[in-house]
Structure 1
Amino acid sequence: MQAFFRIPRLLCAVALMAALSAQAQVLDKVVAVVNKDVVTQSELNTRQQLITSQLKRKGTALPSAAQLRSQVLERLIMERIQLQQAEAVGIRVDESMLDRAVGRIAEDNKMDMAAFRKAVADEGFSWEQFREQIRTEITLAQLREREVDSRIDITNAELEAALNNQDNNAMASSEFQLAHILLRAPEGATPEQWKAVTRRAEDVLALIKQGEDFSKVAATYSNAQDAMQGGMLDWRPFRRLPEIFAERLTGMKKGDVSPILRSPVGLHIFKFVDMREAAQTKTEIEQTHARHILLRASDTMSEAEAVRRLSDLRDRIRNGADFGEIAKANSSDLSAVKGGDLGWISPGDTVPDFERAMNALKPGEVSDVVQSPFGWHLIQVIQRRKMDVTEERRKFEVRKALRDRKSDESYEDWLRQLRDTAYVEIKPEDY
């Protein structure tokens, strides 16, 4: 995940935790059956306590106890369904991957591991519970990448249309913060089912118009994954907003609430919370014009022999032999016909081992023998230059925004399909 795993601060990681340290023990009971698994009362109590604490910290008015219980239980059910799906497709997060992820969270919080463990304990969580919830978050992120994100593609025609729209849209240079409510419709909903969802949406919109706090209404009624955050979306550029929201923003002012909007997954209501101008910066990179000689081990050449031959070639070049001619006669790479010339190389174009060695050279210098996943190299830097890649960066960001928008829409639809095809039995409270 783009970095698939995003927990930038300790409190964010804590906010994701599904289990608090054990508190008053209660006789556990099943509150929901989810396919082959169950959700227990203690799990529900624990998550509900956590969500209540989050909402209070944010100053969000709390839903009624019954409404909050229903919302929290639905999220536990969705989490359980996704974890079952991850297990079915073979997604596993081993200890080494988990260690690296936890280490990154500690680094983001500028703590060594001892201080980080103490901070987790000070929040009232056991280290084992913290690690297991981080494992869950990584698992769900990998599942989304496999089942949704990897299948998203942006065509060149879509990119060009978005770039043209950005040039002709005054809002395209701004970032927006919205809050939203989703009332999900079943997959393949009948007209009667759509009418029922519409009635619920009308009731929700009426509450908002009567002055009810939007975040409280979202936490009470929304089926979206961010309902327990008051439906608040992160700051997003205009092109990253859901398309049905972006189309309605023109003419709206801060604080305005949209009418009911329909998408394939259900009905939506959003609030225009805030906007700001996106920073416009010039982007420059340093490119390197380089050439190389590559030798690979084979049945007729051992690794030691490849290194020895390259060392001899390096000495000849440093004694005045022409690098290009040596490359034509000896390199195993396709670039040999061009004297090993690789053209202009941007950061990230080559594997890290090659790039590090290349970056350490001054123009005209020849490296020592360098190993990479492709074999052994001699590298020569010809020259360097600064390049303005602002336009390329703009295209990259627009393509990414379009991909993220498609991904979000597809993810909601995928979640709906998972939920609709799962066996879920919610037990009565007096069960």
Structure 2
Amino acid sequence: MRTNYLIHPLIFLVVLTTNLAVAQQSDNTGTIKDIDHIIAIVNEECITRRELDEILKISLKQLQKQGIQPPANDVLEKRLLEREILSLVQLQLASEIGMTIGDTELDQALTRIAKGNKMTKEEFYSVLRQEGISYGKFREEIRKEMLLLRLKEREVIQKIKVSEGEVDNFLYTQANLSDSSDEYLLSHIMVRIPEQASVIKIEIRRQHAEAALAKLKNGDEFAEVAAAFSDAADALKGGKLGWRPVTQLPINFSEVLKLMKPGELTQIIRSSSGFHILKLLERRSKIEYDVVVIDQSHVRHILIKVNELTSTTDAQIRITRLKERLDNDADFEELARLHSEDFTASAGGDLGWVSPGDTVAEFEQAMNGLQLGMVSEPVQSTFGWHLIQVIDRRTKDVSNEQQRRKASKTIRARKSNTAFQEWLQQLRDQAYVEYRYEDV
């Protein structure tokens, strides 16, 4: 089945292990402050001193590992508190709309995490124990991350539309740019502007950005200034954005960057979400190939999903019975319409022309091994159990299609970055937040 309609397998390279190990030590050795009390009320929930102390310990450990000098404790605490508030309001919204990550789905994700680290589940759990990490805590952290990703997909990504006209304009513009294949290695500081901020508030935020820029020009390390001043999610990672294609950057960013040399800083750049400072670390040109010829398969399938109501065994039994009916000359399209739990059911299970990489690995491997008209044996993937039939095959030059698909993806990524920041700020501004700063 097409992965662009479903959540990709999550592969975490055990990035949470250090964090959770520190948190586990916090549970065992006590917190920075002895007495627990409320430091912020967020709608109807509270953030406590103990919770913030635990987050602080984790963050200090992260900064230490990266060789970044942390800002003053009071600055770091308030920054971490705001980050926790943003996380909490998102989780509250997910709860309000009934969004959950079930145990079965979570177990499948944990299995994929283990596989992504080239381990069995048992080996992975053993590593967690050796790191002093509670499996239960790790499990719930993954559940939370999955929930936040799903919420972002529902509330932001799915609402972004890219028209054919936008794709046409993008391709025309790129064809006339000499640097359209350039990529930049960037670090970034963002000073967020609240939604509907007053002129005075905007000026205060600008002065905050100017103070950060002054420190950078004075020779302070970018990572340390980012940790102290930036409101971006990557602030405690030194503001590192990694490699970004010029086509995925806002126009006001790319116009400035193309004139810069590695090591240089931008002046303050204003956007709808706030004030930005960029540092260009490196640039490179990416070679692009004009002609792309691929093998495609015209495929239909039947899917029985594994979820809270249907176990893996039950799904396998159901798909096996359907295979028996197909072996006895039942019509594939009719069975797909009646029994498939995929979005293609109404079309008789027809996925259309499928290119390499469009489907999960188990599906693609089984599909490639089929002769025309044959029905596969039951195939298990991360989404459930499938029966697959290949209707036709062809070799096609998809250069133009791939170029347009890539352009659409780039436009969507550019829009989604801005839309997510605006949505997050709106969500934050709509929340009731009462600070107990005297306790922080």
- The two structures have a TM-score, normalised by structure 1, of 0.80
Q: CA-to-partner distance for each residue in 1:174-214, whole Å, 9 max, x for gaps?
A: 22221111111121122222222222221111111111111
Q: Contact 1:4 / 1:141 at 8 angstroms: preserved in 2?
A: no
Q: Contact 2:323 / 2:377 at 8 angstroms: preserved in 1?
A: no
Q: Contact 2:298 / 2:351 at 8 angstroms: preserved in 1?
A: yes
Query: Matched residues in 2 for 1:350 and 1:127: separation?
Result: 31
Q: How does 1:262-341 map to 2 (within 5 A)?
A: 262-281=270-289, 283-288=292-297, 307=326, 310=329
Residues 389 and 109 of structure 1: is their aligned pair in 2 closer, same or farther, counting only changes over 3 Å? same
Q: Which one of the candidate residues 181, 189, 208 is aligned to 1:200? A: 208
The answer to whether structure 1 residue 13 and structure 2 residue 21 are counterparts is: no
Q: Contact 2:22 / 2:57 at 8 angstroms: preserved in 1?
A: no
The answer to whether structure 1 residue 44 and structure 2 residue 52 are counterparts is: yes
Residue matched to 2:149: 141
Residues 273 and 67 of structure 1: is their aligned pair in 2 closer, same or farther, counting only changes over 3 Å? same
Q: Contact 1:310 / 1:378 at 8 angstroms: preserved in 2?
A: no
Q: Contact 1:285 / 1:346 at 8 angstroms: preserved in 2?
A: no
Q: Contact 2:298 / 2:390 at 8 angstroms: preserved in 1?
A: no
Q: CA-to-partner distance for each residue in 1:398-420, whole Å, 9 max, x for gaps?
A: 21121011111011011111111
The answer to whether structure 1 residue 24 and structure 2 residue 29 are counterparts is: yes
Q: CA-to-partner distance for each residue in 1:195-254, whole Å, 9 max, x for gaps?
A: 222222211111111111111111111111221111111322111123331221121111
Q: How does 1:11-410 map to 2 (within 5 A)?
A: 11-14=14-17, 20-21=23-24, 22-25=27-30, 26-281=34-289, 283-288=292-297, 307=326, 310=329, 345-347=353-355, 359-362=368-371, 366-367=373-374, 381=392, 384-410=393-419
Query: Matched residues in 1 for 2:211 and 2:389: separation?
Result: 71
Q: Which runs of 5+ in 1 are unaligned?
A: 293-302, 314-326, 334-341
Q: CA-to-partner distance for each residue in 1:380-425, whole Å, 9 max, x for gaps?
A: 65xx443332332232222112101111101101111111111112
Q: Which runs of 5+ in 2 are unaligned?
A: 302-321, 338-349
Query: Matched residues in 2 for 1:332 and 1:11: separation?
Result: 39
Question: 160-169 vs 68-77, which deviates more?
Answer: 160-169
Residues 6 and 166 of structure 1: is their aligned pair in 2 closer, same or farther, counting only changes over 3 Å? farther
SS of corresponding position for 1:10? coil
Q: Contact 2:227 / 2:237 at 8 angstroms: preserved in 1?
A: yes
Q: Contact 1:173 / 1:238 at 8 angstroms: preserved in 2?
A: yes
Residue matched to 1:415: 424
Query: Matched residues in 2 for 1:76 and 1:262: separation?
Result: 25
Residues 290 and 7 of structure 1: is their aligned pair in 2 closer, same or farther, counting only changes over 3 Å? closer
Residues 90 and 279 of structure 1: is their aligned pair in 2 closer, same or farther, counting only changes over 3 Å? farther
Q: CA-to-partner distance for each residue in 1:5-50, whole Å, 9 max, x for gaps?
A: 6864434233675971113234321121111111111211111111
User: How large is the RMSD of aligned CA atoms in angstroms?
Assistant: 3.8
Q: How many Å apart are 1:304 and its aligned residue? A: 11
- The two structures have a TM-score, normalised by structure 2, of 0.78
Aligned length, in residue pairs: 394
Query: Matched residues in 2 for 1:114 and 1:291: separation?
Result: 36
Residue matched to 1:323: none
Residues 149 and 430 of structure 1: is their aligned pair in 2 closer, same or farther, counting only changes over 3 Å? closer
Q: Contact 1:181 / 1:222 at 8 angstroms: preserved in 2?
A: yes
Q: How many Å apart are 1:143 and its aligned residue? A: 0.8
Query: Matched residues in 2 for 1:161 and 1:33: separation?
Result: 47
Percent of matched pairs sharing the same residue: 34
Query: Matched residues in 1 for 2:300 and 2:93: separation?
Result: 48
SS of corresponding position for 1:268? strand
Q: How many Å apart are 1:369 and its aligned residue? A: 9.2
Equivalent residue letter for 2:401: E
Q: Contact 2:297 / 2:390 at 8 angstroms: preserved in 1?
A: no
SS of corresponding position for 2:168? helix
Q: How many Å apart are 1:137 and its aligned residue? A: 0.3
Query: Matched residues in 1 for 2:366 and 2:329: separation?
Result: 15
Equivalent residue letter for 1:310: D
Equivalent residue letter for 2:395: K
Residues 150 and 366 of structure 1: is their aligned pair in 2 closer, same or farther, counting only changes over 3 Å? closer
Q: Contact 1:185 / 1:267 at 8 angstroms: preserved in 2?
A: yes
Q: Contact 1:310 / 1:369 at 8 angstroms: preserved in 2?
A: no
Equivalent residue letter for 1:23: N
Q: How many Å apart are 1:123 and its aligned residue? A: 2.7
